[in-house]
Amino acid sequence: MGFSVSSAATAPPSRVLRACACVEGCPMALARRAASRLLQGPLRCGEAHRHLLPASAVAAGLCLALTMPTRKTTGMAVSQDELKKQVGYKAVDDYVRSGMVVGLGTGSTAYFAVERVGQKLASGELKDIVAVPTSKRTQEQAASLGIKLATLDTQPSLDVAIDGADSVDRTLNLVKGGGGAHFREKIVEATAKTFVVIVDESKLCDSLGPHFPVPVEVVPFCHEHTARIIKALPALEGCEPVLRLGSAANNKRDGDQPAVTDNGNYILDLQFTKPIKDPRAAARQLKSTIGVVEHGFFTDMASVVLVAGKEGIYERKPPRWRLFSRL
């Protein structure tokens, strides 16, 4: 198909080809397919991007889409670990600036955000960063990268916190704690002016509950009694509390002894077969239960969720009514 920048500039608007070459991570195949069609309106380049490319951008970007070599994507699917790395790096690149106090999350996705902070400090792109870690694991990783560390006792206000999540529902309520650090994570992230959540698309769900068990940190004393009380809570109808065994760092049984958190407590993973009708009510009822230290519901906390998918990284933000409620 013969087409050049000059022909794009002179073609009638109704005959201009629209192509998407402006979103980082957007597959070149999409740009080529778009360029091969004549459209009467702007092209929506993937539901994930929600990005419209007007005709005025074609002259600048279409030639690139048509002249770059074709790359076959068959057998080149991006791994989940690569998606986690991409979104972890993106969060630091977009939201961390020199001189900030940064909350560092815990988990397989947050690991890459910590790694990126260390890289940018080493290269000089970032300076004077102070970080507050949310677990011993994160503390050790950050220290090994030369990141200056503090606690909320000395740094009571955070500019930004970056962390992953195990489930994200349609209104950006979260379930966290698969790594057993949700108590410290919540203390730190509730203090941040901006809380950036980083996930891959596998963590998105319509409703919390069946997608991932809800971790609840409880004191070891009479933990079975606490589990019975939790099971009877009205907002948690149908849940089955399961004591986490082995490592606290994951909810897969890898030992025979109760998992112990950094705070010396146990974890009950609440398993659901049906969606939780009201996560906020569930959070309130858990919080008022004697024996519960902290639960894994993070409701109305996320400032933005960065999602890594096959077509690139995109943002999701809270509904407007939630933003107003936080003023």
Query: Which amino acids are annotated catalytic?
Result: 185
Both tokens of 142, joined, read 């950050």
Question: For the purposes of burial, counting CB atoms within 10 Å of the CB of 22, is it exposed (0-12), middle (13-18) or buried (19 or more)?
Answer: middle
CA dist 283 and 316 (Å) reads 23
Comparing C-alpha atoms, which of 31, 37, 27 is closest to residue 1?
A: 37
CA dist 164 and 198 (Å) reads 5
Mention every residue, 6+ apart, whose C-beta is less than 8 A from residue 254: 245, 246, 247
CB 132 within 8 Å of CB 101: yes
Sheet with 266-271, side-by-side order of all strands: 240-243, 266-271, 214-218, 292-295
CB atoms within 10 A of CB 66: 20
Comparing C-alpha atoms, which of 11, 10, 3, 12 is closest to residue 62?
A: 3
CA dist 62 and 235 (Å) reads 54
Mention every residue, 6+ apart, whose C-beta is less than 8 A from residue 89: 112, 113, 116
Question: For the purposes of burial, counting CB atoms within 10 Å of the CB of 51, is it exposed (0-12), middle (13-18) or buried (19 or more)?
Answer: middle
Element (H, E) at 159: strand 158-163
